[in-house]
A and B are shown apart, each in its own frame.
Chain A
């Protein structure tokens, strides 16, 4: 169940658009901010608010990697492995993370601190290889840089 605050915010988002379902992405983000990840029930609730078929809302949610369909840790590490990043060694970056954290693709560390995901192009090819942790971009990655970054994540 979404909180009344979240529902309020979704209604505000709806008001911005000529058609209710245009607010899908906003609404999903609002819900995710509140619940951490999106579940069947939450999607049904949002679809109801947006007066749209639930399957069409799930199409949006499932398409974008920024919407979590499973619980994620405190830090959601999203490594881009698309073309540009891949040419500049993102595979290696991913493996490095995997080894450091002891988890595989899509998994979360047992202390619920880190989740490691592989994502498609994040539109920052010029600074490849890159990744996103929660809402922030980290660019021109190297092993040393990653070790530094991980130290700052408490």
Chain B
């Protein structure tokens, strides 16, 4: 520990603390430009100069650690005048075109100059000028080089956090331009983090360009509606129109970073294609009707008991899902209720709940990342959970840590991995079995990557495993999870501390499970008296005419179910179909009653992310047209009398023990991790049934399909967000470069992907280092739906790829 005096105030901090941080702890703000807590130290802008007693020259506080007995001055005249001079130098070349700069009003340079800058400039020389007109650097970035102050935040965040390394300072001295490789259009992750961290108006958002002044925006902090990382976002709206999403520094687990979906995926809400009025089917046609007519039709015609079912989306809030299960169970009197997400069968979800210890409470990702060994399996995490990927990348830059990444595709995070393991989509279990085998046999000489990984496990003391949503989609997912459970037990026995976290692709998947959207358990994992049907079983039953009434909440099962043909057929046999959604989806088109619901920006409530962190979703705009928030619709049908989300939350606290201590009104940007709920979690060990082994390789159809979300998309929702569509408008098929070479195919050429039952033409992408015999097709597009390749009961589709 070191005790130092800052501006006369004594403070004791840990050795090695930066003067900057110590000063902040003592309550003194020091202006900074190049310093960013999560980035490497640069110490170049000299904004943070302070005086240290006994030293003649001022020192940059962002790279100078405290020493015991040090005396520091951050506010005296010498420091103030140095600060003013630094700003004077920056302004020597700054255009000062604040009136036409989008950053005006929230610009760090503007603020610092206002606070501590010079009031006039002695420079009479010409200012540097790179261009007259701003440059469009990508579909989301507009760049003004003239305004850059060379703090290098943009290049460092892109390199160190995002892992793309697309930017750098090109040139020398004042003539340096922070730009892409050849100053040409960026082909990058389009995350916009360079825009967010730029302190001035040099990197700017193209979609938000000249839309508003910051002080004219009404802002609300809420949670990203895409993946289950659960990033904190701040939505800005003006006159009821959403104009941007930004992220605040040091806020949420994402700490100012977002991915392209989170930052630019908001346009779907005001896309003009939203459902605005309830509809009812008359004479085979859906026609607009009044709420009264729609709701009374449901109340009269929706059945009760075994022949009814409900399927919900994991993008709804905890409160809505809680009320939905109440409606299905208490009013429709059935346990036939399930989530859409990746259509896991009920045993896989249960096994996931077990192995990740949902009943034991949430695990903070930051605690999980303290592990010395991190293992990820079953998730193309760089695409599925980009910000979790960022957090792991920064953690893994500590070379004392081991990162083992197992996935069929080569993804961005592979370049940070200590060991990369590959497997065929149907058999992630093989990797685990290999590791278990090595450890059980007490081997200590590694032959091959799996052994090396096993050796790392053996030598680890603190392990975190991330289990991806790919596993949930496998028919043999239960077996894979069983294998993982064996490994977990083995490592536990060897005295290792081990945590398991899921990687989910829907924002409230964990919350939905907590709320009992499951055929086997009620809210709080209480076992149901009677076993209900899962999504697949509901559809099979429907196909046999055994489901008469089906309520689909917020999901397009007809498009998203793997075996889209089967789903469509099944849904068409349902006598009374109610779809509550925000768009007229393929499923909604088939409905007897369509109810227009609300998007996340139009309602209050909570999401629970994959760590088990409960975070507030806040309303910022009102519902479009006559649409209503989903909670009030469900409440009306069920006649429960809930007045607000908070009202429901009080009930959730009663029924779900792990939410008991959470105060709805006190939820801030940090969220709250759910508690362990003690007794009462049903264990599925005995109930878990293994389904069926995946078929073996077929030499005529040598590729196994793997699907999932593309980095720019999520489910089918993102297709309605036009900026995301600009980033990627069509699906493609991705295979390894080895396979492409063998087949004589080249990058970007259109190929035919053909299974026994279905074929489609897709653009080819080749990736160096992916598993051979694997074809990835994103699941996000209606134009070529990968789900048409799936055939129910046949597991992973096998295809061949041929030249067109």
Are A55 and B172 touching (Cβ within 8 A)? Answer: no
A56 in contact (CB, < 8 A): yes
Interface contact A55-B171, CB-CB below 8 Å: no
Q: Say yes or no: A62-B171 contact (C-beta < 8 A), given A53-B159, A53-B166, A55-B165.
A: yes
Assess whether B379 is interfacial by the CB under 8 Å rule.
Answer: no
Point out the residue from A40, A59, A120 that lies within 8 Å of B168, measured CB to CB.
Answer: A59
> Does B20 touch A at the CB level, under 8 Å?
no
Interface string of B181-200 (1 = CB under 8 A from A): 11000000000000000000
Judged by a CB distance under 8 angstroms, whether B633 is at the interface is no
Asked if A73 lies at the interface with its beta carbon under 8 angstroms from chain B, I say: no
Interface string of A13-49 (1 = CB under 8 A from B): 0000000000000000000000000001001000000
User: Is the beta-carbon distance between A56 and B168 smaller than 8 angstroms?
Assistant: yes
Q: Residues of A contacting B169 with CB < 8 Å?
A: 59
Known A55-B180, A58-B181, A58-B182: A63·B171 in contact at CB below 8 Å = yes
Nearest-neighbour CB distance to chain B for A135, whole angstroms, equals: 21
Q: Is A54 an interface residue (CB 8 A)?
A: yes
Cα–Cα, bound, A120→B175 (Å): 13
In the complex the two chains form, what is the Cα distance from A63 to B171 in whole Å?
A: 5
Chain B contributes a number of interface residues (CB within 8 A of A) equal to 13
**Chain B, Cβ-Cβ closest to A39:** B182
Q: B167 an interface residue at 8 Å Cβ cutoff? A: yes
Chain A interface residue number, banded? 10 to 19
Q: Is the interface of B mostly helix, strand, loop or mixed?
A: loop
CB distance from A106 to the nearest CB of B (A): 13
Q: Which residues of A contact B166 (CB under 8 A)?
A: 53, 55
* A43 to B182 alpha-carbon distance, docked (Å): 10
Within 8 A of B (CB), among A48-69: 53-56, 58-59, 62-63
**Can you list, as one digit per residue, whether each of A107-136 has a CB less than 8 Å from chain B (1) or not (0)?**
000000000000010000000000000000
Q: Cβ of B182 and Cβ of A63 under 8 Å apart?
A: no
Smallest Cβ-Cβ distance to A64: which chain B residue: B172
Contacts of B170 in A (CB 8 A): 55, 58-59, 62
Q: How far is the CB of A57 from chain B (nearest CB, A)?
A: 8
- When distances are taken between beta carbons in the complex, the residues of chain B under 8 Å from A59 are 168-170
What distance in Å separates the Cβ of B173 from its nearest Cβ neighbour in chain A?
8
Contact with A along B138-162 (1 / 0, CB 8 A): 0000000000000000010001000
B159 to chain A: which residues have CB within 8 Å? Answer: 53, 56
With A and B bound together, what is the CA distance between A12 and B200 in angstroms?
A: 44
Interface string of B559-603 (1 = CB under 8 A from A): 000000000000000000000000000000000000000000000
Contacts of B182 on A, CB cut-off 8 Å?
40, 54, 58
- Name B165's contact: one of A40, A43, A56 (CB within 8 Å): A56
For residue A120, which residue of chain B has the nearest CB? B172
| B165 x A63 contact (CB < 8 A) | no
**A63, B168: Cβ atoms closer than 8 Å:** no
Interchain CA distance A58-B182 in the complex, whole Å: 8
Cβ of B165 and Cβ of A53 under 8 Å apart? yes
B164 CB to nearest A CB, Å:
8
Bound complex: CA A124 to CA B182 (Å): 32
Shortest Cβ distance from B183 into A: residue: A58
| Contact call A62/B172, Cβ cutoff below 8 A | yes
Chain B residue at smallest Cβ distance from A56: B168
Q: Look across to chain A and name the residue whose beta carbon is closest to the beta carbon of B166.
A: A55
**CB closest chain-A residue, reference B169:** A59
* Docked pose: A55 CA to B159 CA in angstroms: 11
Q: How far is the CA of A58 from the CA of B169 in the complex (A)?
A: 9
Q: How far is the CB of A31 from chain B (nearest CB, A)?
A: 16
Closest A residue to B165 using CB positions:
A53
Residue of B nearest to A51 (CB): B415
A40 CA to B170 CA, complexed, in Å = 13
Chain A: CB-nearest residue to B167? A55
Name the distance in Å between A151's Cβ and chain B's nearest Cβ. 33
Contact B172 A63 (CB under 8 A): yes
- Report the minimum CB–CB distance from B141 to chain A (whole Å): 14
Residues of B within 8 A of A40 (CB): 181-182
- CA distance in complex: A46, B170 (Å): 17
| Chain B nearest Cβ from A32, distance in angstroms | 17
CA distance A63 to B176 in the complex (A): 9
When chains A and B are docked, how far (Å) is the Cα of A54 from the Cα of B169? Answer: 12
- Taken together as a complex, chains A and B put the C-alpha atoms of A58 and B171 apart, in Å, by 9
Q: How far is the CB of A139 from chain B (nearest CB, A)?
A: 24
Residues of A within 8 A of B168 (CB): 53, 55-56, 58-59
Chain A residue with the shortest CB-CB distance to B172: A63
Alpha-carbon gap, A40 to B182, bound state (A): 7
A59 and B169 alpha carbons, distance in the complex (Å): 6
Complex: A43 Cα to B579 Cα, angstroms: 55
Tell me how far the C-beta of A55 lies from the nearest C-beta in chain B, rounded to whole angstroms.
4
A residues within 8 A CB of B171? 62-63
Q: Which chain B residues border A58 with CB–CB below 8 Å?
A: 168, 170, 181-182
Closest approach, in angstroms, between the C-beta of B241 and any C-beta of chain A?
Answer: 36
In the bound complex, how far is the Cα of B159 from the Cα of A54, in angstroms? 12
Measured in the bound complex, the distance between the Cα atoms of B180 and A132 in whole Å is: 31
Kindly list chain B residues whose C-beta atoms are within 8 Å of the C-beta of A120. 172
- Most chain B Cβ neighbours within 10 Å, of A43, A53, A63: A53
Residues of chain A within 8 A (CB-CB) of B180 are 55
**Complex CA distance for A43 and B183, rounded to whole angstroms:** 14
B263 to chain A, nearest CB (A): 22
Task: Name the distance in Å between B44's Cβ and chain A's nearest Cβ.
Answer: 14
Which residue from chain A places its CB closest to the CB of B179 in the assembled complex? A55
Closest B residue to A44 by CB, please name it.
B181
A61 to B: closest C-beta gap in Å: 9
Q: Hey, which chain B residues are within 8 Å of A54, CB to CB?
A: 181-182
Best-surrounded residue of B165, B166, B167, B181 (most CB of chain A within 10 A): B181
Which of the listed residues A43, A54, A56, A58 has the most CB atoms from chain B within 10 Å of its own CB? A58
Q: Which residue of B lies closest to A59 (CB)?
A: B168
- Alpha-carbon distance A117/B168, docked complex (angstroms): 25
**Chain A min CB distance to B459 (Å):** 24
Cα(A40)–Cα(B183), bound, Å? 11
Considering the chains assembled together, what is the distance between the CA atoms of A54 and B170 in angstroms? 11
CB neighbours (8 Å) of B167 from chain A are 55
Which chain B residues border A56 with CB–CB below 8 Å? Answer: 159, 165, 168
Shortest beta-carbon distance from A30 to chain B in Å: 20
Q: Which residues of chain B come closer than 8 Å to A55, judged between CB atoms?
A: 155, 165-168, 170, 180-181
Interface centre among B159, B166, B168, B171 (most CB of A within 10 A): B168
- The minimal Cβ–Cβ distance linking A137 to chain B, given in whole angstroms, is 21
**Residues in B whose Cβ lies below 8 Å from that of A53:** 159, 165-166, 168, 181
Which residue of chain A is the closest to B159 with respect to CB atoms?
A: A53
B177, closest chain A residue (CB): A62
Please measure, in the bound complex, the distance between the C-alpha atom of A63 and the C-alpha atom of B165, giving whole angstroms.
18
Tell me which residues from 67 to 125 in chain A have a Cβ below 8 Å from any Cβ of chain B. 120
* Residues in A neighbouring B155, C-beta threshold 8 A: 55
Can you identify 9 A-B contacts, CB atoms within 8 angstroms?
A40-B181, A55-B165, A55-B167, A55-B180, A55-B181, A58-B170, A59-B170, A62-B172, A63-B172
Q: Lowest 9 CB-CB distances: which A-B pairs, in order?
A: A53-B165, A55-B168, A55-B181, A54-B181, A59-B168, A62-B170, A40-B182, A62-B171, A63-B172
- Given contacts A53-B165, A54-B181, list 15 more A-B pairs with CB under 8 A: A40-B181, A43-B181, A55-B155, A55-B166, A55-B168, A55-B170, A55-B180, A55-B181, A56-B165, A56-B168, A58-B170, A59-B168, A62-B171, A63-B171, A120-B172
Which positions in B face A, CB cutoff 8 Å?
155, 159, 165-172, 180-182
